Structure 1
Amino acid sequence: MSSLQCTGVDAGYHKNACVRGFDLAVEPGEIVALLGPNGAGKTTVLMTLAGLLPRLGGEVAVGGVALRSGNPRAAVRAGLVLVPDDRALFRNLTCEQHLRLAVRGRAAGRAAVESAVARFPRLGERLGVAAGELSGGEQQMLAIARALLQRPSVLLIDELSMGLAPVVVESILPTLREVAATDQTSIVLVEQHVRLALDVADRAVVLTHGSVALTDDAAALAGDLPRLEAAYLGA
């Protein structure tokens, strides 16, 4: 059974659809790169799947269970968690406070910190530092670590590399690969650096003008960039 199943999803703002008929199935442990030019609707899709925007049509299911439209709490309870492009951190709370707030109970809080530091050792050096004083890469690590503490079956990450140097992104991607492999977490990744996304993904979906223009194995597309470019251009 697919961890995430989207069928005929229409998404947009103020009842105006900018994404139409979006279909996607993601299997346990699979990483899918959602690619496309600016304005294609990638963020709109993620926000709609996470319940932050009401669906204008179609169905979304997590683990075979249908999600109610426009209900982010229901999405999280079902196992779908979004890391937004702005990371949604509280600037004045420390790294450790963010991690402890993601779980309930003192013992669980200690375990949460240990789990996050095991995956992102750099966070262990910055536990007492306010999120607003962390580097962009550290903030992204913290946002992903906090999301993983909710034990998602489906993790959505919007614009992983926004504001980050490619070398920083390259340090984070292996952790995502490890999470997918060991926890069987399904990951949908929106990423502007196409080559980096294709390196870590199993499959890629190109969204152009609100519609899926191309779906293929990530390795195959990495070896056929002209085909990928044509999809970006809507050719």
Structure 2
Amino acid sequence: MTAALRCEGLQAGYAKGRPCVRDLDLEVRPGEVLALLGPNGAGKTTALLTLAGLLPSLGGTVEVSGTAVKSGHARAASRAGLVLVPDNRELFTTLTVEENLRLAVRARRQWTSERDAILDYFPGLRDRLQVQAGALSGGEQQMLAIGRALAQHPTVLLIDELSMGLAPVIVERLLPVMRQVADTTETAVVLVEQHVHLALEVADTALVLRHGVNVLEGDSRTLSATPELIEQAYLGAHHNGGGSETMAPAESVQ
């Protein structure tokens, strides 16, 4: 099976010659969920912005369904099927829920069926269609942001910090929807999330970045059963005698 998303040797950052993410390899097949984990500043958002074409890569390759995606071109990435839900959601706050969704639907003649399919994932939005996006709760705004992304029929859905500003109980309701989306539409999902145990419950695989380097990857169930490996990856598995931290080598857990 051809990978929905494959990147090899990805170098990502904001200044030439100074990558924040180094030599990142990842592969996500259709219908799979990858949890991209790591402490703050690890390079997770930078990696997603680069995959989505909002930042030019500093090296490496990105492919969607076996076809190379041109670096630094958001429209090309979107046409290829890479759709990003950013951590700030970027909704049109003065437009209604329905208007936000309508703008994202590409097949205008299928608007009603497209809208209804999105509302099946997020039934809480059914009674909020005529409410301005800026008046929604944080959880409702996140539902709308994801729904708007799904309206574009992504091959790969990139979600940055789904839980940003949300109560844990809302996150517990939203994350399983990402599993449902992957299972029912064969969309590949790359999920950046700080609620590690919740992310591992819905993901197939996980990858931990630290200081821009992949320090741990493997099957999510295995990693969930060995939380000490996650802790070591977050904190740094090895310390030298002088007390300063040194990086652990990347480790794969199957």
What's the TM-score bracket when you normalise by the shorter of the two chains? over 0.9
Gap change, CA 1:104 and 1:19, over 3 Å in 2: closer
Gap change, CA 1:106 and 1:19, over 3 Å in 2: closer
Distance in 2 between residues matched to 1:36 and 1:47, nearest whole Å? 16
1:7–1:58 contact (8 Å) kept in structure 2 = yes
Task: In structure 2, give the amino acid aligned to 1:203.
Answer: T
Residue in 2 aligned with 1:202? 204
Q: Which runs of structure 2 are paired with 1:150-165 in the superposition (5 Å)?
A: 150-165=152-167
Q: CA deviation at 1:231?
A: 0.7
1:3–1:186 contact (8 Å) kept in structure 2 = yes
Q: CA deviation at 1:112?
A: 2.5
Gaps in structure 1 of 5+ consecutive residues:
none
Distance in 1 between residues matched to 2:169 and 2:22, nearest whole Å? 35
Distance in 2 between residues matched to 1:48 and 1:14, nearest whole Å? 13
Residue in 1 aligned with 2:150? 148
1:82-124 per-position Cα deviation (integer Å, ceiling 9, x unaligned): 0000011011010000111112465322223212211110110
Q: CA deviation at 1:198?
A: 0.6
Residue in 1 aligned with 2:15? 14
Q: Are 2:133 and 1:138 equivalent residues in the alignment? A: no
Distance in 2 between residues matched to 1:141 and 1:28, nearest whole Å? 22
Q: Which runs of structure 2 are paired with 1:5-84 in the superposition (5 Å)?
A: 5-15=6-16, 16-84=18-86
Q: CA deviation at 1:232?
A: 0.8
SS in 2 for 1:74: helix
Distance in 1 between residues matched to 2:212 and 2:133, nearest whole Å? 34
Distance in 2 between residues matched to 1:124 and 1:107, nearest whole Å? 20
SS in 2 for 1:7: strand
Residue in 2 aligned with 1:211? 213
Deviates more, 1:212-221 or 1:174-183: 174-183
Distance in 2 between residues matched to 1:160 and 1:70, nearest whole Å? 24
2:206–2:218 contact (8 Å) kept in structure 1 = yes
Gaps in structure 2 of 5+ consecutive residues:
238-254
Larger of the two Rg values belongs to structure: 2
Residue in 1 aligned with 2:186? 184
What stretches of structure 1 move > 3 A for 4+ residues in a row? 104-107
1:132-183 per-position Cα deviation (integer Å, ceiling 9, x unaligned): 0000000000000110111111000000000001111111122111111111
1:116–1:123 contact (8 Å) kept in structure 2 = no
2:84–2:149 contact (8 Å) kept in structure 1 = yes
Correspondent of 1:229 among 226, 231, 238: 231
Percentage identity across paired residues of the two chains: 61
Task: In structure 2, give the amino acid aligned to 1:206.
Answer: V
Gap change, CA 1:104 and 1:81, over 3 Å in 2: closer
Q: CA deviation at 1:234?
A: 2.2
Gap change, CA 1:125 and 1:176, over 3 Å in 2: same
Normalising by structure 1, we get a TM-score of: 0.98
SS in 2 for 1:155: strand
Distance in 2 between residues matched to 1:6 and 1:105, nearest whole Å? 30
Residue in 1 aligned with 2:91? 89
Q: CA deviation at 1:218?
A: 0.7
1:99–1:112 contact (8 Å) kept in structure 2 = no
Distance in 1 between residues matched to 2:107 and 2:202, nearest whole Å? 35
